A and B are shown apart, each in its own frame.
Chain A
Amino acid sequence: MSAQLEIAADESLEAFRRSTHAWLEANCPPEMREPVVEDADVCWGGRRFHFKNQAQRIWLERMAQRGWTVPEWPKQYGGGELSKEAGRVLREEMAQLHCRAPLTSFGISMLGPALLKYGNEAQQQEHIPKIVRGEIRWCQGYSEPGAGSDLASLKTRAEDRGDHYLVNGSKIWTSYGDKADWIFCLVRTDFSGKKQDGISFLLFDMESPGVTTRPIRLISGYSPFTQTFFDNVKVPKDNLLGELNKGWTIAKYLLTHERSMIGGMGLELRSNGSQSLGQLAVKTIGLSSGRLAESALRTDIARYEMDAQAFALTMARVAAEAKAGNETGAMSSMLKYYGTELNKRRAELTMSVGGTDSLKFGDEGEAAPMWLRTRANSIEGGTSEVQLNIIAKNVLRLPGN
C-alpha cells in the first residue's frame, strides 16, 4: 500500500519535473542562464533597484507570477506552495539549465520565515506578497556599536507613545542599509529585567523621518554595510512582530536561518568555481614528478580539499537527516562555524598559490579582496567563538558558568 503510494508520488513528481523543465526552458531568458560574475547580476529587488537589463526584470516577474521566487511558501501570500520534494525538483531543474536565482533577498532568507511563524494575518498579508514579488528590499537591524557578540545587550529603545513607538538609537553592520526599503529591527522596550526579556521586534520603513545611514568602508575596499541612525523615528504599533518584549525568541529563530545561510554560502562559492584549489595550484605552480612542486603547500591544499569534501558531505547528511524528520536545529552552529573557517582557509591558500600576483588590489584585484572579505565570515552572524559556545551549551550540554 505505502509502496504504491510512493510510486504514485514519484510518478507525479516526474511529471512535475518534465513540465517544470519545459516551462523553465521556455521562460528563462538566455541572459539569465549565464553565470553570475558581478554584484549587478544579482537581483535584490526593492523600490530603488536598478535592473541591469530587461531580462533580469522579466525573469523576476515570470518566476514571481508562479510564486517560484519562494517555491515552498503558501499560495495565499503569493508563494508556490510546493512540497519539499517538488521544491527540490525545481531547484535541480534550475541548476541543470543554469538558471540564475530570480531574486535574492533578506526578505526571503531571513524575515520571511519569521513572518510566517510569528506574524499576524494583517502583517503577513501586508509584507509577504511584496517579498515574493521583490517589491520591498529588507535589511536587518541587529548589531549595535555596543552590542556585537553580546547582542542581547542592545540599547536602541522604543518608547510607547500611545498610538506609536518612538525609536532612538543606532545599528551597525546593516547589510545594504543604504539600499533597503524597510528594516526589521531589534529594540529595547523594557530596561528593568533580564536583558533578553526586554527586547521587541519592530518592522519599519527606512524612509520614515529620522532614519539615516552612513556606509562603512571595509578593509577589502567594499562598503556593503552601513551604520544606521534612528532619531525620534515614529513606528506605528501595528508594526510590532510577535508579542511585546518577546522579540528575542524571534531573533534567535531568525539567526538559525542566517547561520545555515552563511555556512552554506562558502559551499556555493567553492562549487561555483568549477576549478578546485588543487587544479588552480597545478596550473600556477606546476608538477614535479607528478606532485605539486611545493610539498608543504601541497599538503595544506590536500588537507583543505579533504576537509571541504567532508564538509560538503556533512551538509548533505544534515539535509538528509532533516528530510528523515530528525532534529537538526543544533547543527546550524556547526555548519556556520566549520563552513566559514573553511572559507577563510581557502582564501588564504588561494593567496599563497598566487604569491605576489595575488596582491593586486583595486579594479584588477580578485584574490585579495576576496581574502579580506572572508575574514568577516567568522565574525558576522555570530562569531566562531559564539558558535562554539552554543554547541557546548545546546548540543554537548556542558554546564554554564
Chain B
Amino acid sequence: MSSLVLNDDQSMFRDAVKRFAVERMPVSQMRKLRDSNDPVGFSRDVWKEMAGMGWAGVLVPQEFGGVGFGYMGAGLIAEEIGRNLSATPLLSSAVLGVTALLEGGSDAHKQELLGEIASGALLLALATDERGRHAPYSVATRATGAAGEFKLNGNKSHVLDGHVADRLIVSARTSNDVESRDGITLFLVDPQAAGVTVARTSIVDSRNAAAVELHDVIVSSDDIVGCLDKGSSVLDAVLDAGRVVLAAELLGIAQEAFERTLTYLREREQFGVKIGSFQALQHRAAHLFCEIELTRSVVVRALQALDATQANASTLVCLAKARASEVARLATNEAVQMHGGIGMTDDFDIGFFMKRARAAAETFGDAYYHTDRFAQLSGY
C-alpha cells in the first residue's frame, strides 16, 4: 500500500500546478468568462498551455503521447482547479473521455484520439445522464439496427463541455429494460453528424453543460466503445474516474473556502474584537478543519486505489465522493455564513465556491447516492 503522504515527485508536480493555477486560471478569470458570456466557457489558450505541460494527457500512457501520471496526478490538478475555480475541460475530456477510451476503446480509437486529446487539439464529452437524480443505468436512449449499423434516438442532459466537444461518448440501450445495468452500449458520436443537436445549458456554477438530442443518428459497430450490451463495465470505470476527480476538486474547494474564511475571522472586527475570537465560531471552524483533514485522507486513498486497480476501489471512491460532497457543502455554507452580508454579494468571490460545490456534488452522485452505494457495496 502506498504511503498516504505525497512523495517528492508528487509534491513538485502539485507545486507546479499550484503556481500555474494561481497565475493563469484564478477565480477572476472564471468571473471574466461568466461576465463576458464567453461562448466556449473556458480559455482555449490556457488549455493549450496545460496540454503543453502534459496535463491534458495526465491519464494517457506515454506510448500514446501522454505523461501517464494516473489518477493521482489528475487528482492533484483537480484539487488546484477546485481552489481556483478554474474552468477547464480536464474532467470532461482528459478524465472521462480518456478513461472511456483506455477501458473500452479499440486500438484504432486509441491511435486516432488519445494523442490528439493529450495535445489539447481534441475534446471529448460524456453524454450519459438522462435525469436529474444520478441513476447511471437509467438509459432510455435507444440504439436500434442490424448488420453493424445503428440508429440512435434519445435525449441526454448535463453533458459536461458538450457544446465544444469534438466527439461525444453516448450511452444507449441495445437490449433489456430502461433501468437495467445490462444491455447498455457506448458509442463514439460526431456531434456534426446528421440528427445531433447540442444546446448549451446555463447552470448555477457558470460552467459548461449541454443538452444533446439524438434523432436517427447513424453509427456503426466500429464506433462502439467496449462491447455490445456490456457498456456498463466501461461506464462504471468512467464514472468512478469522474467521481474521484470531482472529489479531489471538492476537497480543493472546501480547503480554499475554509482558508478564506479563516483569514476573514482573523481580520473582521465587531463589538470591538476580531470575530475569530468568538468561541461559537472557533468551534465550528475547528470541527470543519477535522472534517477536511479526514476528507483529504480518503481522497488520496481513493486515487491510489484506482491507480492500483484495487478490488475495493469502488467502495473507496464512494467514500471519497460522498465525504467530499458533504464537506464541501458544509465548508462553503459556513464560509458564506461566517462572511455575513458580504458573503451574499456577487462582487465577493466566496459565493462562487458554494455554487461550484453544489454542481460538483450533484454530478455523478451526491453524498446521499454514494452513502447508499457504500452500504450496498458493504453488504447491507
Contact = CB atoms under 8 A, between A and B. Distances in A.
Interface of A: 276, 278-279, 281-282, 287, 290-292, 298-299, 301-303, 305-307, 309-311, 313-314, 316-317, 320-321, 324, 326, 331, 334, 337-338, 385, 387-389, 391-392, 395-401
Contact of A395 (B289, B294, B297, B379): B289
A292 B290 contact: no
A291 B375 contact: yes
Contacts of B378: 276, 278, 302, 305
Main secondary structure of the interface of B (DSSP, over half): helix
B375 A292 contact: yes
Given A299-B371, A309-B319, A310-B294, A317 B276 contact: no
B323 A317 contact: no
Contact of A398 (B4, B282, B293, B374): B282
Given A320-B5, A400-B277, A391 B319 contact: no
A400 B282 CA distance: 10
B247 to A, nearest CB: 12
A396 B262 contact: yes
Given A299-B371, A334-B290, A400-B277, 17 more contacts: A278-B378, A282-B380, A292-B375, A305-B374, A314-B296, A317-B296, A338-B294, A387-B286, A388-B282, A388-B283, A389-B282, A396-B282, A396-B285, A397-B262, A398-B282, A399-B274, A399-B277
Contacts of B297: 310, 313-314, 316-317
24 contacts: A278-B375, A282-B380, A290-B376, A302-B378, A303-B371, A305-B374, A306-B374, A313-B301, A316-B4, A317-B296, A326-B5, A387-B286, A388-B282, A388-B287, A389-B286, A392-B279, A392-B286, A396-B286, A397-B262, A398-B262, A398-B276, A398-B277, A398-B281, A399-B266
Contacts of A281: 380
Contact of A302 (B265, B281, B375): B375
A193 to B, nearest CB: 24
B202 interface: no
* Shortest beta-carbon contacts, A-B, top 8: A392-B282, A317-B4, A391-B286, A313-B297, A302-B375, A388-B286, A398-B276, A310-B294
Nearest to A277: B380
Given A291-B376, A389-B282, A321 B277 contact: no
A130 B94 CA distance: 62
Interface in B254-299: 262, 265-266, 273-274, 276-277, 279, 281-283, 285-287, 289-290, 293-298
B201 to A, nearest CB: 31
A391 B286 CA distance: 6
B322 interface: yes
B110 to A, nearest CB: 34
Contacts of A303: 371
A279 B282 contact: no
A321 B371 contact: no
Contact of A306 (B277, B301, B322): B322
A314 B286 contact: no
A156 B274 CA distance: 37
B300 interface: yes
B289 A313 contact: no
A371 B113 CA distance: 59
A331 B5 CA distance: 15
Contacts of B276: 398-399
B15 interface: no
A322 to B, nearest CB: 10
A352 B18 CA distance: 47
B372 interface: yes
Contacts of B3: 320, 324
B272 to A, nearest CB: 12
Interface string B364-380: 00000001101110111
B379 A278 contact: yes
Contacts of A287: 380
B266 A313 contact: no
A227 B273 CA distance: 41
A298 B380 CA distance: 8
A397 B266 contact: yes
Contacts of B323: 306-307, 310
Contacts of B371: 299, 302-303, 306
A387 B289 CA distance: 12
Contacts of B296: 314, 317
A389 B5 contact: no
Nearest to B294: A310
A396 to B, nearest CB: 6
Contacts of A401: 273, 277
Interface string B1-24: 001110000000000000000000
A302 B372 contact: yes
Given A305-B374, A320-B3, A398 B265 contact: yes
Nearest to B7: A324
B13 to A, nearest CB: 17
A392 B290 CA distance: 11
B375 A301 contact: yes
A214 to B, nearest CB: 35
A320 B4 contact: yes
Interface in B37-83: none
Nearest to B327: A310
Contacts of A324: 3, 5
Contacts of B295: 310
Interface centre among B273, B274, B290, B296 (most CB of A within 10 A): B290
A321 B300 CA distance: 13
Contacts of A395: 286, 289
A338 B375 contact: no
Contacts of B266: 397-399
B286 A309 contact: no
A338 B290 contact: yes
A395 B292 CA distance: 13
B5 A310 contact: no
B257 to A, nearest CB: 14
Contacts of B380: 278-279, 281-282, 287, 291-292, 298, 301-302
Nearest to A316: B4
Contacts of A337: 286, 290
